[in-house]
Amino acid sequence: MTRVGPVTVVGISVYPVRGCAGTPLERADVGAGGLVGDRAYAVVDLSGRVLRGKDTPALAGVTPTGHPDLDAAAVTAAVGTPVRLEPLTGRPDGAAAVHLVSRQALERAASGVVPAGCGTEDPRANLVLDLPADDSGDLERAWVGRRLRLGPVVLEVTRLPRHCLGVYAEVAQPGTVGVGDAVQILDGGAEPTG
């Protein structure tokens, strides 16, 4: 096993409205479906079509307030057409419960260095981890198939995003995660020290 130094949570974000900007948090409750409040609403135009961030880049400039009516008005102003917010039930096909990325991968992406097949755009991660001894900026990508403990929360890393940094995970044990929490790799792979 490779020892990577103490791994910690350095950022937490939820994206209450799919496609819109994230809301940074110090602590978040993690349920079976992911971070509570994450991707709770979809933006829908008058024809009933769901607007997606990749097709409607103006969504990324809207920071939700947590009030659906106010957020719908802000999105309407940003995209230039009337919209409404509809509660999402379940996850869209292919969506993971939690998206994790390392601070090091984000720094390398900012300088244009990314793993093959990845873009440099905002990965919209829920959890940003600090991996102090990771010079490659993609150590977390070796965690697929492993479990991570973050405080009381246990995540099972399931796969790599198709065109994005980091890894996707499902929730094996719900709980609350906070900035500063230590991360422990439970099953093989790169093992933190300390």
CA-based diameter of the chain, in Å?
55
Instruction: Indicate the pairing of strand 147-150 with strand 34-35.
Output: unpaired
Q: Which domains does the chain have, with CATH numbers?
A: 7-34+93-185 (2.40.33.20), 41-87 (no CATH)
The Cα 32–Cα 58 span in angstroms is 31
Residue % of the chain over a pLDDT of 90? 60
In this structure, are residues 84 and 74 in contact, taking their beta carbons and an 8 Å threshold? no
Render pLDDT for 20-73 as a digit per residue (tens, 0 to 9): 999 999 999 999 999 999 999 999 999 999 998 888 999 999 999 888 889 999
In this structure, are residues 147 and 140 in contact, taking their beta carbons and an 8 Å threshold? no
Task: Find the length of the chain.
Answer: 194
For position 193, what pLDDT does the model report? 47
SS3 sequence of 125-176: CCEEEECCCCCCCCHHHHHCCCEEEECCEEEEEEECCCCCCCEEEEEEECEE
- Which string of b and e fits 71-88 if b means at least 16 CB within 10 Å? bbebbbebbeeebbbeeb
Q: Using the Cα atoms of residue 125, residue 127, residue 128 and residue 129 in order, give the sign of their dihedral.
A: negative
User: 72-76, 88-92, 180-184: which range is least confident on average?
Assistant: 88-92
User: Hey, is 10 helix, strand or coil?
Assistant: strand
For position 2, what pLDDT does the model report? 46
pLDDT tier at 106 (50, 70, 90 boundaries)?
Answer: confident
For position 53, what pLDDT does the model report? 87
